[in-house]
Amino acid sequence: MTKKVCPSSCGKRACTDQNECCHPECLGSCTAPDNNTACVACRNYYYEGVCMPTCPPNTYKFEGWRCVTKEFCSKVPATETSEYERFVIHNDECMAECPSGFIRNGSQSWSDVCLRFSYFASGLSKQPYLPADPWKS
């Protein structure tokens, strides 16, 4: 297999089979020039057929490459090793578990969120830190 060399005018961007420069959000190749809906793969995130630099408002990063809605996140089944039934949302990301220093808050009917815990000097008392409404954009 030979590596495709794109015209220097493309810079670090990929190109089509006809040596036309792909959209900057395309990774590897594309089927049409300068079109973020014609990418073979996305450089950053994919949502509803479009490659984009970040997820749009009211969507969440999922598996490091795509954007999903909170409704989709609430329906992702947890892994077999998880003690929970569904994924959570934390820092605009849909994930299997809360990161270290955070706990699951299941008060939402459709999806759980992670809440940060602050540890007091005694080391025994835990006080939840409740952020502003995590669902407002």
Domain with CATH 2.10.220.10 in the chain: 59-129
Radius of gyration over every alpha carbon of the chain, rounded to an integer in angstroms: 20
- Structural tokens at position 18: 């006809």
Outline where 67-123 has alpha helix (H). Answer: 70-75
- pTM for this structure? 0.73
For residue 14, give both structure tokens: 């990929």
The answer to whether 60 touches 68, Cβ cutoff 8 Å, is yes
Strand-pair partners of 93 = 61, 90
CA-CA distances (angstroms) from residue 100 to 97, 114, 115? 9, 10, 11
* Whether the predicted pLDDT of 108 surpasses 80: no
Task: State how far the Cα of 60 lies from the Cα of 120, in Å rounded to an integer.
Answer: 32
- The pLDDT, as a whole number, for residue 20 is 97
Query: Which is more confident, 73 or 33?
Result: 33
Q: Pairing relation of β-strands 88-90 and 112-119?
A: parallel
Nearest CA to 75 out of 65, 64, 88 is that of: 88
Name which residue leads in pLDDT, 99 or 24: 24
Per-residue model confidence as pLDDT tens digits over 77-97 = 776 655 557 788 899 999 988
Fold of 59-129: 2.10.220
pLDDT 10s digits, 16-67: 999 999 999 999 999 999 999 999 999 999 999 999 999 999 999 999 999 9
